[in-house]
Amino acid sequence: MSPRLNPSPETLVTRGWADYALLDSGHGRKLERYGRFTVVRPEPQCFWSPRDPGAFDRADAVFDPTDEDEAGRWRFAARPLDTFPLAWRDVRFTGRFTPFRHLAFFPEQAANWEWLDARVRTLSRSGSPKGVSAPEGRPRVLNLFGYTGVASLACAAAGAEVTHVDASKKSVGYARENADVSGMADRPIRWIVEDARKYVAREVRRGSKYHGIILDPPKYGRGPTGEVWRLFEDLPLLLKDCAALLADDASFLLLNAYAARISGLSLAHLMAEATADRGGIIDWGELALAEDRPDGRAIGLSFFARWSA
């Protein structure tokens, strides 16, 4: 039985929490608060005018792009800043001023973290899925392109055994550090530096099964031994292989993508093709950040499709 496609898109809006807020936006920029620091980053979608232009001038850090690939450099109001502590619920992690305008995590993903937390907690109460071997009856979750591990740690905090895969040794190192500061170094998390396609293909051959899979690929990337990843060329086969890794009573397959030429609807149709024999439902749409005020405007930043049983 084919999954049912939600007929209407959904906008999942992330609003501020203790360690993050979108304070203002406009004229192609956004003003954010990360912990105790205020930060200005480019955001071309903000065609409108900022509410308080002067606040942008008082920011602790401003990112100045140098090319169209999001590279650039940070300009600081006082002494240069390096790392700083942040938290989301039980997950502790380190913010970093990277040379690619982001701060080592993507705050709009908090909407997905909430959804993953709820799915995994439900699974943890019901025990290990059929055909899946996990310690202490924990559900197994695979996080591909896992970056610095906030989603992995959110799932681990909710009770999952997690396999975290990323091609960047540095990113996996940061993820392990985040597990340490979260007090989760002893949780059942496997940290793997490998090309996601190679890892998934090997898991398919092994007959491995997972209760949930997170897939958050970049538009373009390189593996640890020079493998080239191109979203539009490589995603269809990888998603099909991920669907093959789902246990008979699997709960979810989450796909998120940042690309100008993609949409939530196109991801939903790709997801429907990959999960054609599983039933369930596919919801799809856009992730957005909302300004931290009652009449706050929202900025759409990425697209998603989520299959759930």
For the chain, the distance separating the N- and C-terminal CA atoms, rounded to the nearest angstrom, is 12
Residue 246, pLDDT above cutoff 70? yes
pLDDT number for residue 134: 52
d(CA 43, CA 31): 10
Contacts of residue 127, defined as CB under 8 A and 6 or more positions apart, other chains included, come to: 137
Strand partners, 39: 32, 61
Looking at residue 259, its pLDDT comes to 83
pLDDT score of 169 more than 80: yes
133 pLDDT band, cuts 50/70/90, is very low
pLDDT tops 60 at residue 130: no
**Mean per-residue pLDDT, 265-283:** 97
d(CA 277, CA 22): 41
Backbone angles phi, psi at 172, to 5 degrees: -65, -35
Q: In this predicted model, which residue has the larger pLDDT, 198 or 100?
A: 198
Contact 46, 29 (CB under 8 A): yes
For residues 264 and 303, the answer to whether their CB atoms sit within 8 Å is yes
Longest dimension (CA), the chain: 60
Alpha helices by DSSP H, listed for 134-263, are: 150-157, 169-181, 196-206, 231-244
Whether residue 76 has pLDDT greater than 60: yes
CB 2 within 8 A of CB 276: yes
- CA–CA separation, 289 vs 24, rounded Å? 11
The more confident residue out of 219 and 131 is 219
Whole-model pTM: value is 0.94
Region of residue 76 (phi > 0: left; psi between -120 and 50: alpha; otherwise: beta): beta
pLDDT at res. 131:
46
264-274 and 231-244 are packed helices; what angle lies between their axes, rounded to 10 degrees? 40
Average pLDDT over the chain, rounded to whole?
94
pLDDT tens digits along 139-152: 999 999 999 999 99
**CATH code of domain 4-15+80-308:** 3.40.50.150
104 neighbors 174 (Cβ within 8 angstroms): yes
3-state secondary structure of 162: strand
Query: For residue 11, what are its two tokens?
Result: 């906008």
**pLDDT on residue 226:** 86
Report the C-alpha gap between 13 and 111 in whole angstroms. Answer: 7
pLDDT higher than threshold 50 for residue 43: yes
Q: Which two tokens stand for residue 39?
A: 């930060």
